[in-house]
Structure 1
Amino acid sequence: MLCIVLILLSPLSWRMGNNELPDAFWFKQVFLVAFLISVFYCNVSIFVPKVLLKGRNYKYLLLVVSGAVLFYFSIIYFEQFIKYPMKMHEFFNPGEPYEQRKRWLPGDVFQILLYMVSIGLSTSLALVQKWRRDEEKRQDLERQRINTELSYLKAQINPHFFFNTLNNIYSLTNLNVEKAQKALLKLSRMMRYVLYENQKDETLLKKEVNFIQDYIELMKMRLTPNVILNLKIEEPKEDQIIAPMLLLPFLENSFKHGISNQKECEISIRLEVMGDTLFFETRNQIFPIHSDSPEAKENGIGMVNTQRRLELLYPNKHKLKFGKDEAKNEYWVNLTINLA
């Protein structure tokens, strides 16, 4: 387009009276356009990717200089072939005899500048294309890395949840067989969710909330009367989606550390949805776990993995705060996620 504007369209604006430029002039202009376009695409397709980007800088520089020399002498030969100097002399100086003169230096400089512009633009384009391909490849590798890491994190969360729940049901079998049977039914429904929904990147928020409610109902079967459970769980809209099993580790943490068989204790769980924003909060007192308990040996795998999943799945779209209120001996978690 630049060649067409500078070499073909620009001469059309020249004021020549009623006279038209000779055919030799237009032959030369078309030759220039064809040559510069060939230089442009050869540089984009061959010289830059196969020479410059391979680290052969001196060879590329030699090719550019050689191309400029070839370009210059090709113009001279073509002008002589079509008798360009004589035709232009007859057009601008009619009636005067033609004499061979030295070449017009400003014209040659302008043509070499056109060659350099073609080289510069094509090199820039080739480098931008290379950068874009590298960026797409980097993003693809990053997506693969994130997917692999998420799969690894979910693979850690699933056994963590499963063995904790089985341990709860095992304890319940010694107290009430009927409740244990109901607990197994709850667990089977929850494991269907784990096996099928957890393999997806996203699930309906409604399904995730139902899963949480099943988990809480399962936990309630083994709670003693001295445990006060405050629940405020709001039913979400049908079309909202969330990453599966994202909230479970916070619940597990509350029930693991917030229950005492001797002392009165309270666990608060709140889940609200306002527009596209999910608010989730847990509060529980902190009771020590026996050193010989399997849970005492766990290093908070579920919590650590959930924080990492939030960073990967909801970058700049979530706020997670947690801490301990020393005055009340209470641990709290506050999570906000933008689901849009």
Structure 2
Amino acid sequence: MTQQVPFNRQLATRETIILFGVWLTITAFVLMVDRESEFISSWTITLPSGWLMYHLSFRYLFPKALTFRFPVLFYIACIFVYCLVIFFSTAMVLSAFIEEEGFFMELGGITFFSLLLILAPVQWIIFKRLARGNEELFSIKKELVQTEASLDFLRSQISPHFLFNALNTLYGLAIHEKADRTSEAIEKLGSMMRFMLQENVQEKIALVRDLEYLNNYIALQRLRTEISPNIRIQIAIPKEADLALQIAPMLLIPFIENAFKHGISLREESHIRISLELKQSTVYFDVFNTKHVRPENDPEKNSNGIGLMNVKQRLQLVYPGKHELTIRETALDYFVHLVINLGL
């Protein structure tokens, strides 16, 4: 679909007034120089008509041309038609005032002058569009800087550096006390922290590393939920992936975090289903969880991890036009379907 280029009519009016003064000066000069000529009557008729054609082209023809896929070709075609019209109409006017000897010279001069009146707005518009293009380029560069700053801010919200050293201390203590399950959990958490500190700051990482992070997080959550027979968790996330596939880090985990935070109850039936499928360079990611009413005094009642809003913003920034996010929420459950094309 062809996008229509906006035409600033307020600007057109201002520029028309300026150029009108220029053409008025030219007209006065021509009439002064050619005052004694027998061609004065033809110029008196042709100059106003030429100005009228210029005004119509600048105010109506050019805005119309901008709506076409190839505006330059459309404008050239219109100029060609205009030349034919001005040529034959001027010929009829001149035939009544001048002799045959100077007829074609005068006709050519008037046609050329009239053509300049039409080409002038083209040159002016090209200049304006080049200037506007430079302004738009500067604006795009500025937006890119702001976008990078936004990404850095969003990432900074999920990088708790201060916990890493504490985890190493706890891991050593668990090993010393022979608490195998505790040491295993701390090891996984340490791996996750290392991921956030070292790889989360990168623009893109290998998809397989992100999948490892997801599986570690789920393994930790299973430790606290496996004691309850009311909780059923179904996971289908591959542990391997094409090493060439790259993904922005920490895009998928907020949905899983949200599922465990709001979908688990030790007193009620709870279900969580998480699946991730790879088809060539496209990721199909689904998360389903039951919903449970949280206590009013729960500080995380209205919290969704780092915030689903942040995830939506990152998807728009990193994968514009290359992702599809569907969220369906009812009083009883919550479902997320995310498709991301990781191809170039």
Do the two structures share a fold, i.e. TM-score over 0.5?
Answer: yes
> What is residue 42 of structure 1 aligned with on the other side?
none
Q: Which residue of 1 aligns with 2:186?
A: 184
**Across the two proteins, how many residue pairs are aligned to each other?**
254
Aligned CA distance change for structure 1 residues 128 and 177 (closer, same or farther; 3 Å): same
> 1:231, CA displacement in angstroms?
1.2
Structure whose CA Rg is larger: 1
Selected match of 2:273 from 268, 279, 284: 268
Give the TM-score normalised by structure 1: 0.61
Q: Determine the C-alpha separation between the residues in 2 that align with 1:180 and 1:61.
A: 85
With 60-69 and 135-144 compared, the bigger mean Cα shift is at 60-69
* 1:12-60 CA-partner distances (Å, limit 9, x unpaired): xxxxxxxxxxxxxxxxxxxxxxxxxxxxxxxxxxxxxxxx99x777555
Is the 8 Å Cα contact of residues 277 and 337 (structure 1) preserved in structure 2?
A: yes
Counterpart of 2:198 in structure 1: which amino acid?
Y
Structure 2 residue runs without a partner (length 5+): 1-10, 34-101
Distance change in 2, residues 1:69/1:238 (3 Å): farther
Q: Tell me which residue corresponds to 1:331.
A: 334
Q: Is the 8 A contact 1:157 1:305 kept in 2?
A: no
Tell me what 2:218 maps to. Answer: 216
Give distance in 2, aligned partners of 1:63 and 1:325.
69
**RMSD after superposition:** 3.9
Change (3 A) 1:299 1:188: closer
* Structure 2 counterpart of 1:45: none
Instruction: Determine if contact 1:68/1:112 at 8 Å carries over to the other structure.
Output: no
261-270 vs 65-74, which deviates more? 65-74
Q: Which residue is equivalent to 2:155?
A: 154
**Which consecutive unaligned segments of at least 5 residues does structure 1 have?**
1-51, 75-100
C-alpha distance in 2, partners of 1:103/1:323? 77
Report the AA paired with residue 229 of structure 1.
I
Supply the distance in 1 between the matched residues of 2:248 and 2:30 (Cα, whole angstroms).
61
Match of 1:229 in 2: 233
Q: Which has the higher contact order (CA 8 A, sep 6+)?
A: 1
Partner amino acid, structure 2, of 1:290: P
* Cα 1:129/1:72, change in 2 over 3 Å: farther
% of aligned pairs identical?
29
Structure 1 counterpart of 2:136: 135
Separation in 1 of the partners of 2:280 and 2:208? 14
2:207 corresponds to: 205
Letter in 2 for 1:134: E
Structure 1 residue 308 and structure 2 residue 313: aligned?
Answer: yes
Q: Secondary structure of the equivalent of 1:298? A: coil
Structure 1 residue 246, shift from structure 2 partner: 0.3
Q: Distance in 1 between matches of 2:224 and 2:322?
A: 36
CA distance in 2, matches of 1:177, 1:118: 86
